[in-house]
């Protein structure tokens, strides 16, 4: 019963985290601001931290299956 929601949550978290990491990497590589109106290093660090946290959370959800 619980495998369906765990698979959905794991997939959602992992895809969002991976997408955020790829997007942040592409923005940083092209030297474009990650977030407007903030310090570039702080915004990139915050986005990478959240992206990694979402990937870890998604892997944890898959581990609960």
- Given pLDDT bands bounded at 50, 70 and 90, which one contains residue 59? very high
Element holding 65 (H helix, E strand): none
Residue 2 has pLDDT above 80, yes or no: no
- Given pLDDT bands bounded at 50, 70 and 90, which one contains residue 3? confident
Residue 51 has pLDDT above 80, yes or no: yes
Work out the burial of residue 60: count CB atoms within 10 Å of its CB; fewer than 13 is exposed, 13-18 middle, 19 or more buried: middle
Tens-place pLDDT, residues 5-50: 889 999 999 999 999 999 999 999 999 988 888 898 999 999 999 9
């Amino acid at each position: 019963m619980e495998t369906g929601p765990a698979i959905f949550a794991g997939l959602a978290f992992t895809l969002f985290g991976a997408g955020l990491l790829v997007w942040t990497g592409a923005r940083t590589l092209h030297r474009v601001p990650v977030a407007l109106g903030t310090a570039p290093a702080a915004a990139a660090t915050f986005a990478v931290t959240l992206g990694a946290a979402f990937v870890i959370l998604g892997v944890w959800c898959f581990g609960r299956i």
